[in-house]
Amino acid sequence: MRVRTKTVCGCLTALLLLCLAVFFLCGKEQNHRETSIPDDRMAVQAAAVLDGRYVCLTFDDGPSENTAAILEVLAQYQAPATFFVTAQPVNEPYYDQLPLILAGGHQIALHSASHRYSEIYKSTTDFWLDIKQLRQVLSAYVDVEDINWLRFPGGSTNTVSHRYGGSGIMKELIAQAEEKGYHWIDWNVCGEDATSAHPDADAILRNVQQGAEGRDVCVVLLHDTAATSQTVKALPGILQWFSEQGYRFCTVEQMYTMTDGG
């Protein structure tokens, strides 16, 4: 009996040690992976405060040859959205779309002028110089005083920036952004529309549907570039699906205002 108890104890101890080892290894792995998971605090806060379901569609890297088509579909569904714009040479021919974005009831927010990680994430000084340059370009088309939202290229948790500006650069930039009075936001649903796999419209819709599962507040990352015309094709389906699921469309600023005032 005593031997049996000892054996049972030994087995239990071994099992416990094994569990602990698995726990620590998995925890480590998860921490490692978490570095590239976007920060969803804004959506989480909104979901805790707001009644009902809301979706912020966001379009990065425009304006582009697809902006007009995106605006048309959004107008059909009377869906306000947010455009995180850049000022790269490819954007230049489409700057006349900027006032039209605002006229459609949408929000313009800052993303980057050059969008070159090696330049903007070299130092915090370089990052803010790039933002200053973006504001200068925009000022010829819209009132930049009203623009105080930004999205960090690659998201606030990106690790690519570490290569150029060290491991603490995003933390520093986040603190500085907040000091400067900027609001910043990542996303919690990704259309994966700008990946090298170049998904077609059906795949983009599926990505969005899967990402939105179980979320009452969705901040959806999509793109507005020449290379992402499949996004335009996917858009009616995305808008239709969110409407059917009972979501209301809003800009990130509207979501924040509702959350803060709620």
Burial class (CB in 10 A: 0-12, 13-18, 19+), 241: middle
Residue nearer to Zn ion on the CB measure, 220 or 259: 220
* DSSP-derived secondary structure letter, 13: H
What is the rounded distance in angstroms from the CA atom of residue 190 to the CA atom of residue 81? 15
Q: How far is the CB of 153 from Zn ion (least distance, A)?
A: 5
What is the rounded distance in angstroms from the CA atom of residue 72 to the CA atom of residue 75? 5
Residue nearer to Zn ion on the CB measure, 114 or 259: 114
Among 61, 192, 193, 253, binds Zn ion (CB under 5 A): 61
Residue nearer to Zn ion on the CB measure, 40 or 61: 61
Q: How far is the CB of 223 from Zn ion (least distance, A)?
A: 7
- Examine residue 60 and tell whether it contacts Zn ion (CB under 5 A): yes
User: Within a 10 A sphere around the Cβ of 69, how many other Cβ atoms?
Assistant: 16
Instruction: For residue 202, give the H/E element and its range.
Output: helix 201-212
Residue nearest to Zn ion (CB): 60
Q: Please, which of residues 121-180 interact with Zn ion by CB under 5 A?
A: 153
Residue nearer to Zn ion on the CB measure, 121 or 247: 121
Q: Where on the chain is the footprint of Zn ion (CB under 5 A)?
A: 60-61, 153
